[in-house]
Amino acid sequence: MVKINITNKKHLNLLFPQWQGGGRDSATYEGALELKRYYLGETEVSEVEVSRSPLGAMKNNIIGYDDILLQLKRARRIIEMEQPDTSFTIGAGCDADIMSISYMNAKTNGEMTLVWIDAHGDIHTPDSSETKRFYGMPIRVLLGEGDDAILSLMFSKLLTSQLVMLGVRDLDKAEKVYIPDQNISIYKVADLENNMCAIIDAIRAKGQFNIYVHIDLDVLEPSEFPCVRLPVPCGLKLKTLMQLLKILEKEFNIVGMGLFEYVPSGGRKYELLEYITGIGTSLKCKSN
């Protein structure tokens, strides 16, 4: 594996509107396209071709398996071709940046912390998942567990010690067992709202200057941001997430970012989304 260069050579903006991981509802597909249309303007974007056919059958305990596997292969080919130093992935479901994350982990030789901002755990295997929906499995894939064919596509495997989970508040029974059993760093909404400095210190304590920031918009308080498929009460305030991202951008080297689970807003634009897409599309490697 090759360490990332200090000087930015190439950046990839990747649109990967994979919706099948969430089941039959394809609203996040339209949401991903809206993010591109509303917030990216003339920015150059590489797009992963995604099937619009009805949701496929369950195989290997994953609903829509064939389309998901094929689309992940397409995403890998784009990343291999581009060989970016930094990346910004806009997806539909929050499983759409596993290729980008595993690539950046390989690019940094494993010297990277994954900051996973999400209301849900997303840490199932196909066996432990009750719904068999792939969008509940991305972290476990990144940790090297799950379907063999999907795992074979990954550029690298992360360690649980590289993971920090923020804003999680809706866990399934199996996730409530697995996360503490693996000693994974997890922080609630109240932790972020009341003592963000402690969160930044916890990320810094991981010992890595490079971070990848994954943002599932359902981490937000639904009364402030309703444009998600699975709203969860008692979420982060918009201003808190923006404050967190500003600090992360200042204190760390963001090698990659992902933005997920957005559904069409009916024409409304959000300052927070302008800010996130602004960071994502202009990432540059910096020295420690």
Instruction: Flag whether 100 is in a domain.
Output: yes
What's 223's domain CATH number?
Answer: 3.40.800.10
Per the structure, the complete domain to which residue 27 belongs is given by: 11-281
Helices (H), 36-187: 65-82, 98-107, 138-142, 148-151, 173-181
Instruction: Flag whether 1 is in a domain.
Output: no
Q: Please tell me the total number of residues recorded for the chain in this structure.
A: 288
Instruction: Flag whether 111 is in a domain.
Output: yes
Instruction: Flag whether 49 is in a domain.
Output: yes
pTM of this prediction?
0.96
Which range (25-29, 53-57, 113-117, 282-286) has the least confidence? 282-286
Q: For the residues 14-38, what does the mean pLDDT come to?
A: 97
178-193 per-position pLDDT tens digit: 999 999 999 999 999 9
Which range (98-107, 199-208, 233-242, 276-285) has the least confidence? 276-285
Query: Cβ atoms within 10 A of the Cβ of 13, count?
Result: 23
Strand partners, 16: 91
How far is Cα 148 from Cα 168, in angstroms, rounded to an integer?
A: 27
Widest CA span in the chain = 47
165-177 per-position pLDDT tens digit: 999 999 999 999 9
